[in-house]
Structure formats: structure tokens, C-alpha cells
Amino acid sequence: MTNSGIRVGRVLRAGTRGFAIGCAVMRPDIPAFGSFVRAAGLTPDSAIYGLIYDVTVEDDLFVRQFVSADPPDEVVLDQRENRQVPIEVSVLAVGCGDGERVRHCLPAQPPVTLDWLYQCSDQEVRAFTTRFDYFRLVLESREVPADELLTASLRAAAAARLESERDSFLVAGGRELARLLSGDPVRLEGILHRLRNP
Amino acid sequence: MTLELGKLTGQVRSMGEDAAARRRQAADLAALARRWLAQYADQGPHLCHPARAVHAAIPTAEPLDAVQPLPAIPERFTVAAADGSQIQPDPHGAALYYLVNVGSLVYRHGSGQAPLAHTEPTLGYAEADLYEDGMLVAGNLLDVRRDLAEITRLADLCAAEPSGPTVAMVDGTLLLWVLEERSQEWKQARVMAYLDQLQRIRESGAAVAAFISRPRRAEVTRLLHLASVEGNANRAMEEPNPLEHLPDRAVFGSLPPGARSALFVSPSSINHGYYTPLGHTIHFCYLNLAAEEGDPVIARVELPAWVVQDPAQLALVHAVVVSQARITGDYPYALARADELAFISAAEREAFEEMVATSLLRAGVISAPSPKAHYKSLTRRGRRRHRL
């Protein structure tokens, strides 16, 4: 796996089930809730795939002084662009790859501190979402807003496809959800409702 | 736990009571000082000469109790602020070096642009860097290098700035503080180097000012005592000064929001010995930074003669300092950011020390902290203590 793509940030903390990334600046749509991201694995060509489930803008005592003070534009830009007020991005691990194939499972090892995290390209998203096995990892995860995350990831995966393929992709995803949540029709209905009404 | 807080309870309680009593006393003394300020307001010309002898603020043409309201704040202006911090050379460390880090911010008010932030770290490690006059560059010697680095950075920024109202700002004082024990030649060389940079700022067309938050100086109160003894320097030195421990800022707590006090000349010997002959005589005034009536926020601002003598420059500095301080509430925004940029945190310092150790190893130098430093690192880091 080549380390190409748009960089989201560097790994701050990592575990098998997920990791936290630090970045300095937010750009349009990056980092975005529900988007697919990739970090390098420890072996050559390997990769760890994840879904962004939380983006937190940290504050500090200096920033707090300006919140109710209507600061000038120059101060707002200084705080946003020059000061290293960290943006923390939380990622749920949902798959790994060895350069040949992608599997929907937890990685054997997490990425290493200060590794770059990349935004997955449309091609990577399409390749990753040819199957829906990662749904189970998301649905079973207790620390993430699983239903919202699944919905957002499905929309992101649909957007990575040709317009003519999007509906059929979402229908296939909905069918897989119906199979997994057959015992929990209320939850299923909630997710499908979110999918139908973005 | 080494510091036994229980043994301090009584002392801390009595400290609080003492502070409250002193505050009540200071309010009475401030009232006396303000009465004297009004009473002797027009005595400035008679006090100039004796004021120098008693190291009191030297009056200018303005009445002592003059109050200048806040001028109109320009729609567009530039503030260039610089501040520095340093790592002192540590004879117990793995290597002998010092580090000076200068942070600066160029803030273009009204531009809608992000300010320009910059840091400039300088490492001193060669013999020529580390020793001056046979002495290790530490303490005041390093402070002087840091101050020179700050003012040089400001002069560079001002020289690069397009024409327009610009104020260069430092935290502290414009009077280079050099220990008296240094030789006359050494002191002169350093002060002249500082004045060269002030001159560069002057030639750039910018104004320059130093900002002192919560100042402790008692030069105006000394002047008021001198006035109360009819300007007699001998009496002023012999007779007890009831205002001795009252800082000037207490006198000017009655300034209206945004207003400044009269201008005074600093009585410092360096000011008259070096700054005055080159036209940089340092003046000062007090400003109330508060935005509205209520608790005053008094700061001291120092300015060179060429700013004071230009009414437009003087008004610009006044307006800019107040405008900048009101962004945060009581301290110029650009200076707060320059300080933040210059600051070397404990974590950064530790990372830098590791970098130095690695570099030494790569160069084949096996070095270690002294036994004292080693044991300090063992006892101070991992000390077993109860959670407070």
C-alpha cells in the first residue's frame, strides 16, 4: 500500500479497536464523521482501515477568553491558523489490508504513534465496501454512535460510486442491515430512516 | 512529601490578614498621593533637577496630574510584538549550552488577515558563545543577549513592514538592564547595540513601546514625596516617605477608562548616560486599560523621546496599547502571543535535551549529566506522594 492520499493527521494514541489522531487545521470535509481513513500497518504494503466517529476541537484557557468577547477577525484567524490548538479525531478500526486483499476485521497490531492517517480515495472506499462485513464491527462497538456512523459511512461509500450505482449500493447495504438486525426491528427502522432522510 | 503544609497553616493565615491590613493602608496612602498629585501638579519645572538626585520620576512639560483621554483608534494599524525565553547553561547537564527562543507576532488590525507568527531559536555552544569577559553567559549576561535578540527581531520586522501606522512592542522595559558590576566598556557596547536597534525602528517610521503589566515601580510616588518637602532633595532622602512602598499604579487608579497619565522621564542612570545623548530618552506614563468604569487596570508604558515628541506617534501608541489590551481584557494580544511563541515548555526542554544527547552520541561523545543532576532526576520525578 503506497502512502498516498490526503493526510488527515498523525496518530496520537492507538489500540487494536481504534486510534486517536491529532491534526491542526480542519479543511472542508476533512476530517469528517463517517469517512473512511487508512493508516500504514507495520509490515510493508499493509494498511489499517477505519471510520472517523468523532472530531473534537480541544480548547484551552486562552481561547476561552475570547468566546464571549466578540474578538476581531484577526484574532479568530490567529487562533484557527497559527495556534496549535489540537483537533482530535477518533477512529474505529474496521479492517486491514496486506496489499492484495482487504479484510473486514480488527488489525493484529495498531498503527504506531505519529504515523500518518490518510483519507481513503474513492477507489479505496469502493474496494473496501464491496462487502459489508464491517457492519458487524460497527454495530457491536459500544463506544461509538454506531447507527449514525453506519449511516454516514454508507452515504460516504455511495458518494464514492457513480451516480447510477448509488441506489443499488444503498439497497444492498440496507438488505445486509436487515439480515444483521432481524431481531431488533426498531433499531433497523431507525437506521433505514436515517439512510432515507439524510 | 517534603513540604509539610500543616506547618504552614498559621503563617499562611497571618499572611492573608497582613495583606488585608496593607490593602486598607494602601487605600489611605493612595488618597494622600492623589491629593499631593493635584496639589503639586504645576511644580514639575521646579522638581526636574532634584528628582534625578532622589531617583524619582522626572516631570515633563505636562502637569503632574494631566489626564489624556483615549484617542480615536485607527481603523488600520500594525503591531509587531516580540518576546524571548531562554534555557540557561547547566554545568550539571550532559553538555554546556544555552538556548534563546524569540517569538514574534505581526498583527495587522483591520486587515482581516491572520497575523504572522514566527519563532527564532538560537543555540549557543561554542566557546566564543559561552564565555564573555571570562564569565559563563548565564543570568544577566544571557538576559542581555535575549533582550538584544528581541529588539533586533522587532527592528527587522519594522524594516520589512510596508509604510503605515506601526507600533513595535516589547514586554517589560526599553531600558537594557545591565548589572552595575560589568565594566564600563562592556556595558557601553551592549547598550549601544540595543540603541542601534531602537534607531533602526525609528528610521523605519514605526513607533516603539514597552508594556509593563501590574507595575511595581514607585518613581512617581517618590516624586510626590519630594514635592511635599518643597523639592529639597536632602530632606527627601532624610525624611521618611509615607508613600515609600506605594506603587505608582495605586496613584493612577483614578484614571478614567482608556486614559493615560502625564508623561514622565525615567530616572535610570542608563537612560541619562546612554539613551539621552542619542535622542532615545525613555519616558513613561500609566494607562487605565479597563473598558468601563469599575476596577481600573493600570499598566505602565515606556516610550522613547522621539515617539513622545511626535503627537501622532504618541496618540498611536496610546490607542494601540489600549485596543490590543482590550482584546484579552488587560494585556496586549500580540504580546501574549509572542510570549506563547517564545515559551519553552518543560516537555519541549526535555525533548531538546534528548536531541542534544543523541547528537553527542552520534558524534562519538559519551556524556552524561553530573551525579547531582542524575540524582535530582531520580528524586524529583518519581517522588512518592499522596495525591493532593
pLDDT of residue B322: 97
Distance CA B109, CA B325 (A): 13
Within 8 A of B329 by CB-CB distance, chain A residues are: 65, 69
In a domain, B281, yes or no: yes
The 10 Å CB-count burial string (b at 16+, else e) for A122-133 is eebbbbbbeebe
Q: Provide CB contacts within 8 A for B379, sequence distance 6+.
A: none
pLDDT of residue A80: 83
To the nearest whole angstrom, how far is the Cα of A143 from the nearest Cα of chain B?
A: 30
Residues B287 and B369 in one domain: no
pLDDT digits (tens, 9 = 90+) for A125-142: 999 999 999 999 999 998
To the nearest whole angstrom, how far is the Cα of B5 from the nearest Cα of chain A?
A: 28
Residues B332 and B358 in one domain: no
Within 8 A of A67 by CB-CB distance, chain B residues are: none
Q: Residue range A106-130: average pLDDT?
A: 92
Interface touch A74/B113, C-beta < 8 Å: yes
To the nearest whole angstrom, how far is the Cα of A71 from the nearest Cα of chain B?
A: 6
Structural domain containing residue A155: 6-196
Within 8 A of A62 by CB-CB distance, chain B residues are: 336, 340
Residues B303 and B352 in one domain: no
Within 8 A of B115 by CB-CB distance, chain A residues are: 74, 77-78, 82
Residues B236 and B372 in one domain: no
Q: Residue range A90-104: average pLDDT?
A: 92
Residues B330 and B363 in one domain: no
To the nearest whole angstrom, how far is the Cα of A61 from the nearest Cα of chain B?
A: 11
Q: Could you tell me the CATH number of the domain that includes residue B94?
A: 3.30.2170
Interface touch A80/B107, C-beta < 8 Å: no
Q: Provide CB contacts within 8 A for A93, sequence distance 6+.
A: A16, A17, A18, A19, A48, A49, A50, A106, A107, A110, A137
Residues B360 and B256 in one domain: no
pLDDT of residue A47: 93
Q: Assign A119 a pLDDT band (cuts: 50, 70, 90).
A: very high
B229 CB burial (10 A radius; 0-12, 13-18, 19+): middle
Interface touch A77/B117, C-beta < 8 Å: no
Within 8 A of B107 by CB-CB distance, chain A residues are: 74, 78
Distance CA A106, CA A93 (A): 6
To test the contact with chain B by mutation, choose from A61, A74, A79 the residue with the greatest count of B C-beta atoms within 10 A, namely A74
Interface touch B336/A62, C-beta < 8 Å: yes
**Residue written as grid cell 525615567:** B266
To the nearest whole angstrom, how far is the Cα of A47 from the nearest Cα of chain B?
A: 30
Q: Is the pLDDT score of A35 beyond 70?
A: yes
In a domain, B36, yes or no: no
pLDDT of residue A84: 66
In a domain, A68, yes or no: yes
Residues B280 and B197 in one domain: yes
| Closest chain B residue to the Cα of A66, Cα to Cα | B328
| Phi, psi of A132, rounded to the nearest 5 degrees | -120, 25
Pair B50, B70: CB distance under 8 Å: no
Interface touch A78/B117, C-beta < 8 Å: yes
Residues B132 and B185 in one domain: yes
**Residue written as grid cell 521646579:** B46
| Closest chain B residue to the Cα of A75, Cα to Cα | B114
Q: Residue range A172-193: average pLDDT?
A: 94
Interface touch B327/A72, C-beta < 8 Å: yes
Q: Is the pLDDT score of A36 beyond 90?
A: yes
In a domain, A23, yes or no: yes
pTM for the structure as a whole: 0.81
Q: What is the DSSP string of B186-220?
A: HHHHHHHHHHHHHHHHHHHT-EEEEEEES----SH
Residues B156 and B51 in one domain: yes
In a domain, B324, yes or no: yes
Count of domains for chain A: 1
Interface size A-B, in CB pairs within 8 Å, comes to 39
> Which H/E stretch holds residue A49?
strand A47-57
Within 8 A of A75 by CB-CB distance, chain B residues are: 327, 333
pLDDT of residue A3: 56
Within 8 A of B333 by CB-CB distance, chain A residues are: 75
In a domain, B1, yes or no: no
Q: Assign A58 a pLDDT band (cuts: 50, 70, 90).
A: confident
To the nearest whole angstrom, how far is the Cα of B359 from the nearest Cα of chain A?
A: 22
Q: Assign A82 a pLDDT band (cuts: 50, 70, 90).
A: confident
In a domain, A88, yes or no: yes
Q: Is the pLDDT score of A122 beyond 80?
A: yes
The CA-atom distances, in angstroms, between B380 and each of B119, B367, B375, B383, B388 are 31, 21, 8, 6, 16
The question of ipTM being above 0.85 is answered as no
**Residues, chain B, total?**
388
Q: Assign A4 a pLDDT band (cuts: 50, 70, 90).
A: low
| Closest chain A residue to the Cα of B323, Cα to Cα | A72
In a domain, A1, yes or no: no
pLDDT digits (tens, 9 = 90+) for A12-33: 899 999 999 988 767 776 788 9
Report, as ranges of residue numbers, the positions in chain B whose pLDDT lies below 50. none
Pair B128, B97: CB distance under 8 Å: no
To test the contact with chain B by mutation, choose from A62, A75, A113 the residue with the greatest count of B C-beta atoms within 10 A, namely A75
In a domain, B14, yes or no: no
Residues B352 and B280 in one domain: no
**Chain-centre distance for alpha carbon B339:** 12
Pair B148, B193: CB distance under 8 Å: yes
Interface touch B107/A74, C-beta < 8 Å: yes
- At B357 the three-state DSSP class reads helix
B329: nearest CB among A65, A74, A78: A65
Interface touch B328/A65, C-beta < 8 Å: yes
In a domain, A156, yes or no: yes
In a domain, B155, yes or no: yes
In a domain, B29, yes or no: no
Interface touch A74/B340, C-beta < 8 Å: no
Residue B129 is placed in which grid cell? 558563545
pLDDT of residue B374: 73
Count of domains for chain B: 2
| Closest chain A residue to the Cα of B113, Cα to Cα | A74
Structural domain containing residue B362: 346-378
| Closest chain B residue to the Cα of A78, Cα to Cα | B114
Its sign, for the CA torsion A33, A34, A36, A37, is positive
Residues B240 and B120 in one domain: yes
Residues B267 and B364 in one domain: no
pLDDT of residue B373: 74
Most confident of A65-69, A95-99, B168-172: B168-172
pLDDT of residue A113: 84
pLDDT of residue B350: 87
In a domain, B4, yes or no: no
